[in-house]
Amino acid sequence: MNGEPTHGPTDETGPETTSSDRTAKGSEPTPPSPTDTTGHRLTAGLTIGSRVVVRYRLAEGAEAAATDFLGELVARNEDFLIVDTRTERVKLIRADVIAAKDVPPPASRPGRAHERVSADDLEKVMAKGWQATDRGGVGDWVLRSSDGFTGRANSVLVVGDPSLPLDKAIDFAEKWYAERDRPPIFQVHGERGFAAEAIPAAAALLERGYAVGGGRDDWERVLVMTGLSAAVPPLTEESVPVTADAELQLEWLMSYAEQRTIVPGATEAVLTGSDGQLFLSVSDPETKRIIALARMAIHPGWAGIFGLWVHPEHRRQGLGTTIVSAVAMVARENNMPAIYVQVSADNADGVAFWEGLGFGVHHEYTYLARPTS
- Judged by the rule CB under 6 A, the positions of this chain that interact with ligand COA are 308-310, 315-321, 341, 343, 347, 349-350, 352-353, 356
Map 336-373 to HEC letters.
Answer: CCEEEEEEECCCHHHHHHHHHCCCEEEEEEEEEECCCC
| CB-CB contact of 9 with 89 (8 Å) | yes
* 200 residue type, one letter: P
Can you tell me whether residue 196 is helix, strand or coil?
Answer: helix
Q: What is the DSSP letter of 132?
A: -
Q: 55 vs 314, which CB is nearer to ligand COA?
A: 314
How many CB atoms lie under 10 A from the CB of residue 187? 24
Q: 69 vs 306, which CB is nearer to ligand COA?
A: 306
Q: Rounded to the nearest whole angstrom, what is the least distance from the CB of residue 248 to ligand COA in the complex?
A: 19
Q: 200-207 and 166-179 are packed helices; what angle lies between their axes, rounded to 10 degrees?
A: 60
Q: Rounded to the nearest whole angstrom, what is the least distance from the CB of residue 234 to ligand COA in the complex?
A: 14
Q: Rounded to the nearest whole angstrom, what is the least distance from the CB of residue 126 to ligand COA in the complex?
A: 13
Q: 14 vs 318, which CB is nearer to ligand COA?
A: 318
| CB-CB contact of 177 with 184 (8 Å) | yes
Q: 185 vs 345, which CB is nearer to ligand COA?
A: 345
Rounded Cα distance, 212 and 122, in Å? 22
Q: 172 vs 302, which CB is nearer to ligand COA?
A: 302
Q: Rounded to the nearest whole angstrom, what is the least distance from the CB of residue 296 to ligand COA in the complex?
A: 12
Q: Rounded to the nearest whole angstrom, what is the least distance from the CB of residue 297 to ligand COA in the complex?
A: 13
Q: 308 vs 369, which CB is nearer to ligand COA?
A: 308
Q: Rounded to the nearest whole angstrom, what is the least distance from the CB of residue 233 to ligand COA in the complex?
A: 10
The shares of helix, strand and coil residues in the chain, as percent rounded to the nearest 5, are: 25, 30, 45
Q: 202 vs 338, which CB is nearer to ligand COA?
A: 338
Q: Which helix (H) or strand (E) holds 147?
A: none
Q: Rounded to the nearest whole angstrom, what is the least distance from the CB of residue 352 to ligand COA in the complex?
A: 4
Alpha helices in 85-158 (DSSP H): 119-128
Q: 41 vs 316, which CB is nearer to ligand COA?
A: 316
Q: Rounded to the nearest whole angstrom, what is the least distance from the CB of residue 318 to ligand COA in the complex?
A: 4
Rounded Cα distance, 264 and 251, in Å? 15
Q: Is 316 left (phi over 0), alpha (psi -120 to 50) or beta?
A: left
Q: 87 vs 261, which CB is nearer to ligand COA?
A: 261
Can you tell me whether residue 231 is helix, strand or coil?
Answer: helix
Q: Which residue is nearest to ligand COA (CB)?
A: 320
Q: Rounded to the nearest whole angstrom, what is the least distance from the CB of residue 272 to ligand COA in the complex?
A: 19
Compute CA distances 233 → 242, 244, 357, whole Å.
15, 18, 8
Q: How many CA atoms lie within 13 Å of 36's alpha carbon, on the beta-carbon side?
A: 15
